[in-house]
Structure 1
Amino acid sequence: MSGNSTPSIMLKNSHFLRFAAASAVIVGHAYVLNGFSDPIETASLGLFPTGQIAVYVFFVISGYTILQSRLQSADTGTFLLKRFLRIFPGLVGSLLFTILLVGSICTSYPLGRYLTMPETWFFWDNLKLFPHTTHVLPGVFQGNPSQGVNGSLWTLSYEILLYAFVACIVPFFRSRWYLFAGLFCAFFLSICLFNDAIARHEILRIVHLQPDQLVIFSTFFMLGMIFRIFREQIPLKGTWAIVAIVAWLGMYYPSSIRGWVPLITIHWVRFFCLSYLVIYAASIPGRLNDFGRFGDLSYGIYIYAYPVQQVIIQYFGATMPIPLQILLAFVLVLPLAWVSWHFVEKPALRYKSLLRADPGVRKEQSLPPESSFKSR
């Protein structure tokens, strides 16, 4: 892209990328929930764990778009209201679906007892995200390799914490974005130096987050922010995308095979290479730019797929091959995601003007002029 197009046009491909990432989570979970290893991760020698990479793609895109949303919002309150309306109405729908429908048809208890057990309604604890939440329902999926009812929801806590992070830092860094970039470099250097200590640290109190996961998600998220901040200075080119792929995959040889550098170096390189590839892919012009006309189904896929896959495993897991399980999951989840978007998520977003009218895209004096990355 070139010329004076806006960042929103630059990331029009993000609808497809989020959809693809949500779909990849289904593929990754299909094997894990059946008690098998991810064949894509195995085939790639550990470089491409399907579900993890998909979630990282989400966080890179979120870093870019969430910062942009804050810069375009009238104030912090408007921004937070938009974030609340984007996450919680869909989550409420997913929890109702999981407790009332999935739980009712999959519990080993009599239906009346299941619906009157306090443990059933403890699952609403997932709404508050912090602190610790409940991941099982009484008698549900007890014969499955994994008893978790919706193991995808745990990442929402990290996402929402990073929304709060953006809300807090924008007023401070409004005219100091190079300082933010410098602090990010210091942050990244520190996680490289103290990686072992971070990995060994216990769950963080109060928020009950895993320190190592918080560091990983935050790094991808902040890299997305940096692409938004310095969109004029960072060139997006196919040549550099190829370099990123080679650097990422090529790191396996000196680290895992030769032992010249620590194995963790693969992860450090992946932060930058994957982030570049995600933003580059989002910038490519073409037919996929209009993918969002069908609605933003990625969130619905993400929050409904896990319980649907667990139902499939409970009833067909012993006889249905995993590729067919994946196909059936798509067939069942896509209508749920469509209904969630058109009848829950999209209508809820109409209330984002409750505080004050959102001025739309507005020019931020603290950032470069509104135009796209230079890309080929």
Structure 2
Amino acid sequence: MANMIVTGGAGFIGSNFVRHWRSVAPDDAIVVLDILSYAGHPANLDGLDGVTLIPGDICDTPLVSRLIADHAIDTIVHFAAETHVDRSITGPDAFVTTNVVGTHSLLKAAKTAWLDQGGGKPHRFHHVSTDEVYGTLGADDLAFSEVTPYAPNSPYAASKASSDHLVRAYHHTYGLETTTSNCSNNYGPFQFPEKLVPLFILNALSGKQLPIYGDGKNVRDWLHVADHCQAIERILRGGRIGETYNIGGGQELPNFAVVDEICRGVDAAFAVDATLATRFPAAPAAQGRSTAELKSYVEDRKGHDRRYAIDASKIHSELGYVPARDFPRGFADTLAWYLAGEQWWKPLLARAALAV
């Protein structure tokens, strides 16, 4: 039985992990620490028992220390981060503060509680990171492995690389029991609609353009969030202390292929469910037209990495992890969730519009 803090647990991946952990370890106590920024939403945790939501900032070290002490925390799973690359280009300060300073705040509090005061009692600090720390790949380059040199190309990636190094340093210098995972592009339920998959789904439903950066040939590996959560569970239960594990979906696709799958999926959904045309009359599919007519190519993003690919052989060989979903299956489930989830995403869009 664990007493766990999940940072960023009201966000996309964090809330999916909380839901996953409640299902596999229902007796464990979970404290969610989340600043509830635009991407954190208490409704993501609706219906869960045994979860305590604490609105707060990971940079507030005294708060983190109190939570560890008051709840006898022995495990921290650290998702909280600024993650949107476009936002990091226009406003990098927030990324340095949250991703670097915030991670250091958590590490300091954990070291004090578990090592300085706790005498080295069993504990775990798991840090969730990204494949973007490795930089970019050419078309014929080998996929990122755990020994690929870091070469971050965006302020977001640089801030995550910095946090990875801090976690490593706290293990090697102080003996803090840490693990790190670097994952590929996630998609699935509860993802804030600024990322490609939910943004393009909701744009398609409202008849808005589907803006594709550059030539659309930038390649990413796609990982369903449920598979990601299962991988983190395996690391928490069996991962070697001090190690890093890459988590991939095994679905390396160019962006234009992902957009084509979204267009096909939306068209197919409208073809079999006549009520969608009434609910979303602005969608081209509501008039029997192709969603693909909304595609448009826009100026490429600054410093846009060309290709990411994950070598997940380490987590497979050591922990038996294999993703359960290919992209067509995972996307079909995701599309169905968003089509049924207006009560979740409409308030988020309204809140985001008011904040602009």
- Check whether TM > 0.5: no
From the CA coordinates, give the structure whose radius of gyration is larger. Answer: 1
Larger proportion of helix: 1
Q: TM-score, normalised by structure 2?
A: 0.28
Q: TM-score, normalised by structure 1?
A: 0.27
Larger proportion of strand: 2
